[in-house]
Amino acid sequence: MNNKINRLFLLLALLCLFVSVNGQKKVVVAYVTSWTQTIPDPMVMTHINYAFGYVNKTFDGIDIDNEARLKQIVALKKKNPKLKVLLSIGGWGSGRFSEMAAAKEKRMAFSLDCRRVVDKFKLDGIDIDWEYPTQSSAGISSSPEDTRNFTHLMRDLRNELGEKLLTCATVASAEYIDFRSCIQYIDMVNVMSYDMGNPPYHHSALYPSEITNRMTTSAAIEAHLKAGVQCEKLVMGMPLYGRGVQGYTTEPDSTKGVTECWHEQSMVPYLVNSQGEFVMGYENERSIGIKCQYIIDHRLHGGMYWEYGDDRQEKLRNVICEILMHGEAGPYTANYVGNKVRFNVLLVWDPSAEPAHVEFDKQAIRFFHKLSYGEGFTYDVRTDCPASLDTLKKYDVMVMLNALPYSESARKAFQSYMEQGGGWLGFHATGYNDRNTHWPWLNEFLGCGPFLANNWPPQSVLVDVETQQSPVTRTLPKSFVAPSSEFYQFSPSPRANKDVEVLVSISPKNYPFGIKDIVTHGDFPIVWTNKKYRMVYLNMGHGDEAFIDATQNLLFTNAFRWVAFKNDKMTR
């Protein structure tokens, strides 16, 4: 009966996943400026951010640029009643945020004025485009307290706006804002993943290569996820313009004496001159379509672009609309990353371990071998942990199957590997550490105390998925029955460690469980990550039933994929 329920949960989860990837319509946010004359087609976006309003000279309200045009934009809702129109406040070089946000009375007055403007112009919300808290690079005032005050501003705006939308535009690197403190107040985060480089670098490349500088679009999304923004709130920015040696242009195809190139790794077009020198980075229908597919594949909330412009950007706008709003699959799907990205995996197991562990290890090797079909990654299998850091650095991920390094040299190499950004997926006995192990760093790495107890004999258990915000667990049901295993309990629990995120735990509904060795109480996490490292520990790994359950297999796959692609060198 439990297996039938479990399969039903999985079927529903996969159905929801299929719908979200293949049929769910995403938001499309278009910035429309006050200084242009074009009247947008209200059917090709879901949201318009009208640019701009400004913090007024007394730091307690809003000045709106070209109110007549704002009214024209709001009137578009008659043609598309589902259209949302927000006032975007700020922009590059727009200041006075620091002074306003620093003083409670100014901040409250500004928030009240935002509500007044929303009501007066029948807006759907406010977009804050402060570029950037704590920074004066745009010639505006700043303060070291801006980051903290930004959080206060978001809180006060949320209180005044009620159910109206509150969004913000952010720098690609996700710096200057404490998202973990303020994301609860924000509906959408519009990532400005453009203007990230000037020639000889592309300003909006999707993936890193020799034509990119410090940031790429994929790195921008990863930075925001790492900073605490849920994928469900992320809106990925796309530019409908090019940036070249002559600066900003909406007509890259009019540039003379150049050759158009396509970069297979960065997935963007660019122009070179007769000497082969990079002179402009821009977007075309192919690159925009690929970025839209990235949004879908990574379950982001949608896409944003600067700016609506005129007929010269129509083809690009239409691609975004067709893919994100209408769910149409363009010719940009399966090969948008292709087979160009590889990563290397080391599988380590111990053939001399107890038979139940060896049985799991052999099945796990077959499981990971199947995941490698199509050369998604390459892997090696060893029965010992390398004692050389240089050897370990050849691998992007180490998967330890009930095997730990035992020699001093192997332990030092593994510790250095992890502290230098290595990836690790560990099962079951890799977490076993007691007074006889003589390796204190292992507990620091795992983020918990030594082994305390276990159930015996192995049995299946009801487990709780504690968060569905993590990429490791977001496709799992809130609870499921994990196949039979021996589960280790640790003291102190990893939950007591502020650096640990517990992902799955054994439900207290199981207590007491076990027959010979009985666990009667206590916190019992079985899957977690120590955020100081690129790692996931999974307590499963005893016997021959670990891979009989599709939900648990999905958990293993998610964890493996997350560890692999959390690597800064990699792309998803």
Phi and psi at residue 179, in whole multiples of 5°? -65, -35
What is the average per-residue pLDDT within 471-479? 93
Q: Tell me which residue of 282, 168, 189 sits closest to 236, measured CA to CA.
A: 189
Q: Which of 270, 295, 325 lies at the terminal end of a domain, its last residue?
A: 325
528 and 413 share a domain? Answer: yes
What is the average per-residue pLDDT within 512-527? 95
Is the model's pLDDT at 148 over the cut of 70?
yes
Percent of the chain surpassing pLDDT 70: 92
Q: Where are the alpha helices (H) located in 23-84, listed in sequence order?
A: 67-75
pLDDT grade for 264, boundaries at 50, 70 and 90: confident
How is residue 431 written in tokens? 């977490």
Domain that holds residue 478: 341-565
- Token match 């796990």: residue? 364
Which pLDDT value is given to residue 138? 97
Is the model's pLDDT at 44 over the cut of 60?
yes
Which pLDDT value is given to residue 246? 87
416 and 547 share a domain? Answer: yes
439 and 537 share a domain? Answer: yes
374 and 490 share a domain? Answer: yes
How is residue 324 written in tokens? 């994100």
Q: Where are the alpha helices (H) located in 282-421, listed in sequence order?
A: 285-297, 314-320, 355-371, 389-392, 408-419
CATH code of the domain covering residue 224: 3.20.20.80
Determine how many CB atoms are found less than 10 A away from the CB of residue 569: 10
In one letter, which amino acid is 405? P
Determine how many CB atoms are found less than 10 A away from the CB of residue 70: 20
321 and 363 share a domain? Answer: no
What Å distances lie between residue 406 and 317, 387, 442, CA to CA?
A: 58, 10, 11
Residues facing 262 on adjacent strands: 269
| 14 located within any domain | no
3-state class percentages of the chain: helix first, strand second, coil last, to nearest 5: 35, 25, 40
319 and 441 share a domain? Answer: no
CATH code of the domain covering residue 388: 3.40.50.880
Strands 488-490, 451-454: pairing is antiparallel
446 and 309 share a domain? Answer: no
Is the model's pLDDT at 305 over the cut of 50?
yes
Q: Which of 325, 353, 382 lies at the terminal end of a domain, its last residue?
A: 325
What is the maximum alpha-carbon separation in the chain? Answer: 81
CB burial string 141-175: b at 16+ within 10 A, e below? ebbeebbbbbbbbbbbbbebbeebbbbbbbbbbbe
Which pLDDT value is given to residue 327? 84
pLDDT digit string (tens) for 106-116? 999 999 999 99
pLDDT grade for 567, boundaries at 50, 70 and 90: low
Distance CA 523, CA 493 (A): 7
Number of folded domains in the chain?
Answer: 2
pLDDT digit string (tens) for 51-102? 999 999 999 999 999 999 999 999 999 999 999 999 999 999 999 999 999 9
- Token match 């054994």: residue? 506
For residue 259, how far is the Cα from the chain centroid? Answer: 35
Which pLDDT value is given to residue 374? 59
Which pLDDT value is given to residue 265? 84
- Token match 């379509």: residue? 289
Determine how many CB atoms are found less than 10 A away from the CB of residue 15: 10
Is the model's pLDDT at 237 over the cut of 90?
yes
Count of all residues that appear for the chain in the document: 572
